[in-house]
Structure 1
Amino acid sequence: MITGASNGLGAEMARQVATQGAHTILTARRTEKLAELSTQIQADYGVISAYYKMDMTNFVEVEEVVQRIGDTKIDVLVNCAGFGIFEEAVTTDFVTVERMFDTNVLGLMRLTQLVLPSMLARKSGHIINIASQAGKIATPKSSAYAATKFAVLGYSNALRMEVSPVGIHVTTVNPGPIATSFFDIADKSGDYLNNVGFLVLKPEKVAAKIVGIMGKPKREINLPFLMNIISRMYQVMPRVIEFFGKGAFEKK
């Protein structure tokens, strides 16, 4: 089951797991794109691909979708739906902040809570939460977005300790910038991806990394390599990294 599957990383993961013979359950707000993807997957790979309209901010709808899925066994849940806005904390519209938390954090938590009981009963399953390098190092103009991803990491780390004893894996994926439509909303200037250049990841590469660890007890995936090194250094000497990284952090 993949949320936010209508395009970008979510859609690419759906295609790649289907090549391995996995059946897919796809959710997103835009059903027209989901329908196209589902049809394509079934035609190209001969697997079952169901899809459901699901707005992660609508917790009643989240519950209804899980009820409609019913007894279908969900081996892997990928919480991929999310969005961000690059704007200074003082000027970020608070309604947007609330919607960001509802989508990136609370919707993720509610869906996970609804899917977990059947995994616990089977004593198997894998929860994969798409977080961000922004959850490791907060930078200017990403206060609300970074806060949501810090929350996802905290939730995932606690959840992992709760469910790993019964054989359920929890993985967080912490990518840097990915060349997807995410930045159509996040970056009003349209310059960010060009500014960060070689750090930009291809969705196909990130999806392949995620699909490759499904069913395995992998704690985290951190991409790209350079950002992972910097985030590790940040844990030890945050002031130094903030001082020397000031120019890079302010490319938004």
Structure 2
Amino acid sequence: MRLTGKSALVTGGASGFGAAIAETFAQEGAKVTILDLNGDGAAEVADRIGGVSVKGDVTNASDIEGAVMAARRHGETLDLVVNNAGWTHRNKPMLDVTEEEYERLYDINVRSIFHMTCACVPVMREQGGGVILNIGSTAGIRPRPGLTWYNSTKGAVNLLSKSMAVELAPDKIRVNCVAPVIGATALLESFMGVPDTPENRAKFVATIPLGRMSEPRDIANACLYLASDEAEFITGTVFEVDGGRTV
């Protein structure tokens, strides 16, 4: 198993990409801790995979610190962190996005990574290294209209991952970003801005050369590779898991 002896913390792990990442990491031998605002959902996934869960808000520094402590208690170290939690406003003209929506976007998609970095990097430095994976998006590479402010947060995540990688390399902390294309998650209808019907899905799928949306397993498998020792010389990448969307 590729993550035997590793301790992992996954945010937003109660459903969607995060749940698949947590499950895959556990199957590969990692001791997994899940942080999610949906405490019941996080507990359900954790129970299924033999992990632990923490109910918490990724925009709250104290909740992040508590999750890092819980992960260390569960796994004795903190080797892997996946900043997966994210949110979007509904697809609509940029001038229709409220200031409240804008602030929530940056709090969840960007500020959460700031809090996690402040909490986990000292731990990883002390133990001699680690891996941080940030879930970005193809939206920060090849943006779709109607999601301008969301796109900007993912552009920030994509770039900050590269900058973090350069700064943390001397500490043997690898940082990479996984950039999924649109997938069938709870946020799908918000991304599309129209009802989730086969006809509307087909319009988005038509822009993806491999002919389908991303699945949670696609993102989980990409994270598994980047978290594993097989990727020990890979840092600062934005790994596009997009079926060719950004080509």
After TM superposition, the score normalised by the length of structure 2 is 0.84
From 228, 239, 244, give the equivalent of 1:221.
239
1:156 corresponds to which letter in structure 2? S
Matched with 1:84 is 88
146-155 vs 207-216, greater mean Cα deviation: 207-216
Letter in 2 for 1:75: D
Q: What SS class does the counterpart of residue 245 from structure 2 fall into?
A: helix
Kept after mapping to 2: 8 A contact 1:174/1:221? yes
Q: Which residues in structure 2 correspond to 1:37-116 (within 5 Å)?
A: 37-42=45-50, 49-69=51-71, 72-85=76-89, 86-116=91-121
Given the two structures, how large is their TM-score scaled by the length of structure 1? 0.82
Structure 2, unmatched stretches of 5+, are: 1-8, 206-210
Which of 136, 143, 168 aligns to 2:141? It is 136
Q: CA deviation at 1:120?
A: 1.3
Does the 8 A contact of 1:132 with 1:173 survive in 2?
yes
Residue identity in the other structure for 2:215: K
Greater helix share, structure number: 1
Q: Which amino acid aligns with 2:165?
A: R
Match of 1:10 among 4, 18, 21: 18
Q: CA RMSD in A?
A: 1.8
1:61 deviates by: 2.6
Deviation per CA, 1:228-247: give whole Å up to 9, x if none. Answer: 32xxxxxxxxxxxxxxxxxx
After superposition, the C-alpha distances for 1:26-63 in whole angstroms (9 at most, x for unaligned) are 01101111111111112xxxxxx111012122233323
Q: Deviations over 1:160-205 (max 9, x none)?
A: 0011123111111111111211214444412453321224111112
Alignment equivalent of 1:200, drawn from 213, 219, 223: 213
Q: Which has the larger radius of gyration?
A: 1
For structure 1, the 5+ residue unaligned runs are: 43-48, 230-252
Map of 2:208 onto structure 1:
none
Aligned residue for 1:145, secondary structure, equals helix
Secondary structure, counterpart of 2:34 in structure 1: strand
Please list the CA deviations of residues 40-96 of structure 1 after superposition, one character each: whole Å capped at 9, or x if unmatched: 112xxxxxx111012122233323433455564110100000011212110011101
Question: How far, CA to CA, are the matches of 1:210 and 1:69 in structure 2?
Answer: 18
Write the letter of the residue equivalent to 1:211: L
Identity value in percent: 25
Cα separation, 1, equivalents of 2:132 and 2:72: 18
Partner of 2:4: none
Distance 1:93 1:213, change over 3 A: same
Instruction: Summarize the Cα distance change of 1:20–1:68 in structure 2 as closer, same or farther, 3 Å threshold.
Output: closer
